[in-house]
């Protein structure tokens, strides 16, 4: 694993770009724009225009005024999913308002970008700081509906301390009409950005001796005031022997870029320089050392600086002049030209870029280049050993899943990558696929490694809990606890093990493991795990009947969730349910139940949902509400889906008995009706598994009839009616772990 956060946005994306040397002041745009961002009632500035119109330059000019604080984010395609987007937004804000980032970043990471949790925390944090502007440049690269809904939610409740400025080639699917009606939107459109003759002359760098006012107006008309077209015209004009003839022949549309590259730039370059220019189209951003590595040469830093100074087609990304990127219009055409002329050399360039990014601690960029080079096995190995294990706990399983999908069959040959496919499937609620990839990863394991044990065990526990098989999950959890290594491992491992033991009703063991989880979560800075540790302790205490201890733990879990911005996180539903169940008629009970039901509606955990609905049914029946029986039927159906529901099954049985809805399960008794024989105990220990009676017979080398006979005897001696009740009853009597 790496030691840094490989998922953080590149710093160069968080710095407003330097204004070009030929920057033209546009007071007719800048004045209204600055007034808009200072107006607390004007929530959003939208700059919407085609490529090359000057959107970024206009917004970058805001950052060069002392009376404005600007948080800048240049979006890219990797931000097209909630965790990536909000992580990048938080990092951008953190450069100017670090106290906001300190509150929001843990919520993004622990809730996997859950919209309600992240946006509500962001709004609360921003409301408490000095005003600033958040610029989202190239917003058209984001298409994810969840992200758009989150931005809409932010705008709807936007504090007066925040102004949102968006640059985009197409209008985002936000409720812009509503903002217009309310007077909360300031718009800059393509027509506004078109340059008039005075601005065009300044951008062309032409004096009266070179071009007459009529010729300047002609160029301006033919480009329709398009800034990029005028820049290209100015570059060509400098080389023209006959400026007047150039103006007469000048086109003025997007074809300018093609003509410039083909007729003006490439024709003026030698083979080496042409190769260097095409090679630099491979990565998205450039520095001198990377350029030298790509072309196996030197002087890359000077070459970039000279190229940026010569025109506006290479854009500096930081104040130090270290990082650059090609103008997007140019980059598209350079890549097209590279594809046509470099051909077989392109995979080698991608490999070289990958090696550079690996050496400089940027494995995600390296994976992208390895995939482009057709080196999927190497990409799988890099993901499996490094990058993927940061993407999963940071909540970016969707991003990881998309990358793994591009690797084809390669993950099936690498243990770590196979395990990551399993994690992604589980997080996507595909338990069957997760189980298959877990077994595939196990088959690829060549030698034992304690660090790998944690990765395998935590995934297996999650798989078993998702299947509703508490017994299987608890058996793995006990093995983890007995290893003595939980205090050394990241907090999710102890939290997961503690959860399994809590669902199994093993209070003493759950207490010990969850205490480790609580301590580790504070050391790791993992607030969600701290909340989960308190929540599962409440669950375990409630199962053994210690209402006071369960109430204290549940209250702590709920308070921690609220303090950490996790009160809208679906996984906290159990905490609210246990607090309601142990509150003894407190006024907050109804609100807790309603909140728990709302949260669990988007949960993928059948055990969570079964417990919450069982608690809701219990309280509804006690209050004589007509929906009580409906809730009880729903809880019964959920428990029936579980192979071994653990404490949920016991709790449901008690609720049935308490309200006389069904035949109550036998109450715990100090002794068995009759002691089980050794052979019956052997059969009993297989009942929590998913083995059929025939498979149990095969395991014990006895006949199917013998197993059936033993099962009937077990049910009679435990005073139960079926296999599931037998497992629950045996666990209560400490006959099963």
Over residues 476-491, the pLDDT tens digits come to: 999 999 988 888 887 7
Over residues 228-272, the pLDDT tens digits come to: 778 777 777 777 778 888 787 776 554 555 665 566 566 667 788
Q: What does the block give as tokens for 322?
A: 């270290």
Over residues 657-694, the pLDDT tens digits come to: 888 885 444 444 445 667 888 788 888 888 887 778 88
Mean pLDDT of the chain: 84
170 vs 307, higher pLDDT: 170
Residues 6+ apart with CB under 8 A from 49: 55, 169, 188, 189, 190, 193
Question: Whole-angstrom Cα distance, residue 182 to residue 191?
Answer: 23
Residues 6+ apart with CB under 8 A from 76: 13, 138, 141, 284
Residue 574 Cα distances to 206, 435, 561, 603, 614, angstroms: 71, 25, 12, 11, 11
Over residues 57-75, the pLDDT tens digits come to: 889 888 877 678 999 999 9
Tokens 């890219």, located at residue: 76
251 vs 26, higher pLDDT: 26
Q: What is the largest CA-CA distance in the chain?
A: 112
pLDDT at 260: 58
Over residues 391-408, the pLDDT tens digits come to: 666 666 777 777 888 888
Question: Which residues partner with 78 through β-bridges?
Answer: none
Q: How confident is the model at residue 532 (pLDDT cuts 50, 70, 90)?
A: very high
Question: Whole-angstrom Cα distance, residue 717 to residue 99?
Answer: 62
pLDDT at 432: 81
Of 379-388, 489-498, 503-512, 683-692, the least confident: 379-388
Question: Whole-angstrom Cα distance, residue 202 to residue 185?
Answer: 30
The fold of 450-659 is 1.25.40
Q: Are 574 and 608 in contact (CB under 8 A)?
A: yes
Question: Whole-angstrom Cα distance, residue 565 to residue 106?
Answer: 9
pLDDT at 255: 59
- Please identify, in words, the CATH class of the domain defined by 351-446: mainly alpha
- Average pLDDT (568-573) is 87
CATH number of 678-732: 1.10.10.10
Report how far Cα 523 is from the mean position of its chain's Cα atoms.
Answer: 22
Over residues 595-635, the pLDDT tens digits come to: 999 988 877 688 999 999 999 999 999 989 989 999 999 99
Q: Are 599 and 561 in contact (CB under 8 A)?
A: no
The fold of 25-193 is Rossmann fold (3.40.50)
Asked if 25-193 and 450-659 have one fold, the answer is: no
Residues 6+ apart with CB under 8 A from 343: none
Q: Are 331 and 325 in contact (CB under 8 A)?
A: yes
Residue 2: pLDDT over 60: no
Reduced 3-state DSSP string for 233-273: HHHHHHHCCCHHHHHHHCCCCCHHHHHHHHHHHHHHCCHHH
Over residues 76-99, the pLDDT tens digits come to: 888 888 988 999 999 999 999 999
Reduced 3-state DSSP string for 499-533: HHHHHCCCHHHHHHHHHHHHHHHHHHCCHHHHHHH
| Pairing label, strands 314-316, 44-48 | unpaired
Over residues 275-299, the pLDDT tens digits come to: 888 999 999 899 999 999 999 989 9
Q: What does the block give as tokens for 78?
A: 């990797």
Domain boundaries defined on the chain? 25-193, 195-343, 351-446, 450-659, 678-732
In terms of average pLDDT, the best of 154-168, 317-331, 418-432 is: 154-168
Helix (H, G, I), strand (E, B) or coil at 608: helix
């Amino acid at each position: 694993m790496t030691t840094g956060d490989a998922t953080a946005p590149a710093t160069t994306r968080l710095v407003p770009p330097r204004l070009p040397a030929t920057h033209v002041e546009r007071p007719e745009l800048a004045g209204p724009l600055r007034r808009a961002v200072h107006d607390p009632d004007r929530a959003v500035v939208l700059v919407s225009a085609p490529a090359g119109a000057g959107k970024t330059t206009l917004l970058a000019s805001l950052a060069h005024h002392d009376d404005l604080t600007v948080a800048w984010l240049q979006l890219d395609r990797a931000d097209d999913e909630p965790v990536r987007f909000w992580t990048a937004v938080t990092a951008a804000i953190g450069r100017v308002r670090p106290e906001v980032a300190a509150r929001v970043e843990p919520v993004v990471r622990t809730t996997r970008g859950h919209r309600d949790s992240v946006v509500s925390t962001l709004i609360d944090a921003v409301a408490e700081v000095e005003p600033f502007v958040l610029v989202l440049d190239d917003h058209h690269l984001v298409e994810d509906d969840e992200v758009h809904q989150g931005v809409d939610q932010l705008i709807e409740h936007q504090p007066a301390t925040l102004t949102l400025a968006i640059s985009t080639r197409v209008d985002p699917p936000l409720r812009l009409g509503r903002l217009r009606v309310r007077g909360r939107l300031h718009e800059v459109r393509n027509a506004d950005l078109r340059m008039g003759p005075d601005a065009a002359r300044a951008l062309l760098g032409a004096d009266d001796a070179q071009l007459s006012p009529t010729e300047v107006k002609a160029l301006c008309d033919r480009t329709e005031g398009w800034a990029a077209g005028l820049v290209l015209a100015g570059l060509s004009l400098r080389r023209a022997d006959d400026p007047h003839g150039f103006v007469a022949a000048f086109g003025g549309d997007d074809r300018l870029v093609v003509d410039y590259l083909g007729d003006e730039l490439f024709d003026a370059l030698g083979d080496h320089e042409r190769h260097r220019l095409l090679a630099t189209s491979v990565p998205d951003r450039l520095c001198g050392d990377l350029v030298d590595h790509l072309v196996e040469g030197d002087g890359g830093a000077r070459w970039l600086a000279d190229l940026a100074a010569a025109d506006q087609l290479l854009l500096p990304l930081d104040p130090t002049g270290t990082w650059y990127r090609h103008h997007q219009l140019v980059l598209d055409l350079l890549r097209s030209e590279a594809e046509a002329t470099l051909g077989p050399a392109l995979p080698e360039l991608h490999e070289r870029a990958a090696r550079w990014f690996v050496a400089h601690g940027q494995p995600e960029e390296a994976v992208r280049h390895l995939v482009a080079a057709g080196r999927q096995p190497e990409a799988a190995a890099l993901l499996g050993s490094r990058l993927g294990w940061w993407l999963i706990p940071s909540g970016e399983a969707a991003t990881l899943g998309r990358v793994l999908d591009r690797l084809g069959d390669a993950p099936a040959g690498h243990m770590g990558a196979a395990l990551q496919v399993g994690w992604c499937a589980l997080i996507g609620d595909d338990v069957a696929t997760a189980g298959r990839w877990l077994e595939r990863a196990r088959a690829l394991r060549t030698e034992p490694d304690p660090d790998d044990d944690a990765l395998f065990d935590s995934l297996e526990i999650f798989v078993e809990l998702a299947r509703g098989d508490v017994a299987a999950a608890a058996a793995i959890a006990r093995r983890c606890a007995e290893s003595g290594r939980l205090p050394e491992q990241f907090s999710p491992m102890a939290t997961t093990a503690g959860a399994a033991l809590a669902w199994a009703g093993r209070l003493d063991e759950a207490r010990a493991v969850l205490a480790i989880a609580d301590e580790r979560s504070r050391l790791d800075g993992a607030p969600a795990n701290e909340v989960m540790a308190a929540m599962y302790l409440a669950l375990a205490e409630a199962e053994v009947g210690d209402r006071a201890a369960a109430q204290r733990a549940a209250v702590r879990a709920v308070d921690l969730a609220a303090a950490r911005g996790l009160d809208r996180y679906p996984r906290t539903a159990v905490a609210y349910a246990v607090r309601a169940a142990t509150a003894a008629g407190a006024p907050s009970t109804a609100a807790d139940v309603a909140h728990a039901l709302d949260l669990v509606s988007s949960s993928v955990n059948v055990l969570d949902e079964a417990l919450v609905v069982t608690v809701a049914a219990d309280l509804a029946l006690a209050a004589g509400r007509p929906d009580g029986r409906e809730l009880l039927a729903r809880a019964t159906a959920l428990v029936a889906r579980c192979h071994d529901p653990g404490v949920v099954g016991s709790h449901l049985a008690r609720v049935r008995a308490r309200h006389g809805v069904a035949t109550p399960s036998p109450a715990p008794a100090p002794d068995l009706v009759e002691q089980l024989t050794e052979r019956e105990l052997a059969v009993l220990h297989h009942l929590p598994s998913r083995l059929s009676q025939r498979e149990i017979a095969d395991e014990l080398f006895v006949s199917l009839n013998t197993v059936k006979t033993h099962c009937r005897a077990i049910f009679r001696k435990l005073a139960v009616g079926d296999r599931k009740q037998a497992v629950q009853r045996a666990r209560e009597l400490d006959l099963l772990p």
